[in-house]
Amino acid sequence: MEKNPKKQVRQRILVIQVLLLGCICLLGARAFDVQIFDARDLIRKAEQSHSKYLTIKGERGQILDRHLNKLGTSIDAPTITANPSQILDPAKAAAGLSRILNIKQNTLKEKLSRTRRYVMVARKVSPAQAKQIRALGIQGIYLEKDSKRFYPNRSLAAQVIGFTGKDDIGLEGLEFKYNKVLEGEVARIKVKRDGAGRVLDTHKNRRAKLKGNSLVLTIDKKIQFLSERTLEQTVKASQAKSGMALVMKPGTGELLAIANYPGFNPNNFSTSKRDTFRNRALTDAFEPGSVIKLFTVAAALEKGFTPKSIFFCENGKYRIGKFTIHDTHPRGWLTLNQIVKFSSNIGTAKISETIGNKVLHDYLTNFGFGLKTGLGSPGETNGSLMPYGRWSKIDAGAISFGQGISVSAIQLISGISAIANNGMLMKPMLIKKIISNNGNELQVFQPTQLRQVISPKTARQVKVMMNMVVQEKGTGTKAAMEGYAVCGKTSTAQKASKNKNGYEKNKYIAAFAGFAPLKHPELAILVVIDEPMKKHYGGEVAAPAFKTIMAKSFNYLNIAPEKTKSMIAAVIKGEAN
């Protein structure tokens, strides 16, 4: 018996309906499972596919001079990455990148041939390299935002500023000392990616907020430059080993220049000798020689002597125990004024014997010798000043004219500035203020008075003596400037032997320290030349450099000449009495 066709159709439809309903139920159950039970896991996987977490670090803060000129800053230096799965011809891409990045072609080809979606090609490339790589237009090569440290003035103040390493961590100088102030903050953020894995959002605004704080220095870029240039010319002309030049404002202790030669380029520090990295003005101690006579004479004046007090200088030879002290030119009776003017070792030793060891030691200590200045730069030396109880007779005599004592250049310029500043010793300043990434002042440093070392009267008397040094028959005539009363002191110190007792033959440190103008000193300058070969006297080698730096600085700062020579002479005559 045949089946009813209509009934068969209905049965088939029913089966199909049951099957469809079953499918719908299964899909519904699966959808319920996906949306309810697996939702979190699937959302996480989707986010991982289209987003990623990055740890970003804010740009390093800047180092600026007193007029906000950039001395150390950060520039764009993209990091080059690749998605090998998108690179059609790894060999060709490697060849193009190799020429620009100076990386072996085989090394790049191996990286670009990997079965990964992300490889690091090169970190922190220069803007010029980045431009060339973009021009290649290689599919699968990407440039991610990054930065690196840059010093726009190259070697200018390099020993003061220092430099950073690969990860922008300070390694030398202020970059090292103030690393925590300068370095940017770190944050972990989520960014979106496209199907190729490229980052779509670099959070530029967030990066800007993470930028580190900046240092504003007391250094004046212009005065630093002319100090370095003059120092380099002097060292080369005298065939010397090295040199230092410092410029300070006596009334505030602010350092306008700290110059060292030889120098180095912090943008490419790995090509320089490590010995050139240190800031010798703070780290190196040396015997100062005759500049110390100023402080010995100041102590005598404080103890009741006058500029016209006389001492017999033994016609050029004076024996202390088994040692004999010599003067360059034999002289008999000299006043304190003349002892400074002619730079008499014997006269200064006689002063020391008269005032006693304790008095001399106390005044040298009060001027800051044997003590760190607390400038805020790494590696500062104390120098060396023995306790007076351990001084022998020859020690006292030698220390009085600058042997048997070692100082740093920063101590010496600070002491000279105290005389210029009417006897008030100021704490030397290198950092003017710290500012935030949006320009707000976080910390402002003010000039700090440490102590009144000598009276204003004594300071005025020493100033007049220093002015006599640059006048006719003085040892520092080459430091004299037309229109200004210059105060200074020469020094020619034999270098102490490193490997044995005594001093090196034909090895000297030539120096000149001083300030101007006499009545209201604007700048104090110290020039130190290590081992000059052609001439070795401070008045011949260092004094002309002092004059050049002072004259050009006065011109730049618009410091007008004093009124007339006759008025200057009248002031000097009055103070000399």
The stretch 9-23 carries a mean pLDDT of 77
Which candidate, 114, 217, 227, places its Cα nearest to that of 173? 217
Q: How far apart are the first and last CA of the chain?
A: 153
Assigned domain for 428 exists: yes
Of 145-154, 205-214, 436-445, 489-498, the range with the lowest mean pLDDT is 205-214
User: From CA 270, how far away is CA 282, in angstroms rounded?
Assistant: 23
Which candidate, 136, 126, 81, places its Cα nearest to that of 101? 126
In 497-540, the DSSP E strands lie at: 503-516, 523-530
| This prediction's pTM | 0.84
Assigned domain for 113 exists: no
Assigned domain for 208 exists: no
Assigned domain for 202 exists: no
User: From CA 486, how far away is CA 317, in angstroms rounded?
Assistant: 31
Residues 62-81: tens digit of each pLDDT: 999 999 999 999 888 888 88
Give the number of domains in the chain.
Answer: 1
Residues 87-104: tens digit of each pLDDT: 888 888 888 888 888 888
User: From CA 310, how far away is CA 339, in angstroms rounded?
Assistant: 9
Which candidate, 149, 147, 150, 164, places its Cα nearest to that of 79? 147
Average pLDDT, the chain: 88
Assigned domain for 64 exists: no
Name the catalytic one among 214, 227, 290, 491: 290
557 SS3 class? helix
Q: Is 214 among the residues known to form the active site?
A: no
Find where tokens 């935030």 sit.
436
Helix boundaries (H) for 162-264: 173-177, 179-182, 204-209, 221-237
Residues 359-377: tens digit of each pLDDT: 999 999 999 999 999 887 7
Assigned domain for 154 exists: no
Confidence check: pLDDT of 171 > 50 = yes
Under 8 Å between Cβ of 263 and 361: no
Exposure of 28 in the CB half-sphere (CA atoms within 13 A): 6
Range of the domain at 242: 221-576
Confidence check: pLDDT of 2 > 80 = no
Confidence check: pLDDT of 471 > 90 = yes
Q: In the prediction, which pLDDT does 101 show?
A: 87
Q: Which residues are registered as beta bridge partners of 245?
A: 259, 527
Q: Which CATH number does the domain housing residue 464 bear?
A: 3.40.710.10
User: To 5 degrees, how large is the angle CA 128–CA 129–CA 130?
Assistant: 90
User: From CA 381, how far away is CA 363, in angstroms rounded?
Assistant: 19
User: From CA 170, how far away is CA 162, in angstroms rounded?
Assistant: 8
Listed in sequence order, the residues at least 6 apart from 330 whose beta carbon sits closer than 8 Å to its beta carbon are: 313, 315, 316, 317
Q: In the prediction, which pLDDT does 564 show?
A: 47
| Count of CB atoms situated within 10 Å of the CB of 562 | 17
pLDDT band at 476 (very low <50, low <70, confident <90, very high): very high
Assigned domain for 247 exists: yes
pLDDT band at 34 (very low <50, low <70, confident <90, very high): low
Assigned domain for 115 exists: no
Which candidate, 412, 377, 414, 407, places its Cα nearest to that of 160? 377
What is the dihedral sign for C-alpha 294, 297, 303, 305? negative
| Count of CB atoms situated within 10 Å of the CB of 500 | 8
Q: Is 80 left (phi over 0), alpha (psi -120 to 50) or beta?
A: beta
Listed in sequence order, the residues at least 6 apart from 45 whose beta carbon sits closer than 8 Å to its beta carbon are: none
Confidence check: pLDDT of 226 > 90 = yes
Residues 486-504: tens digit of each pLDDT: 999 999 998 888 777 778 8
H/E/C letters for each residue in 106-122? HHHHHHHCCCCCCEEEE
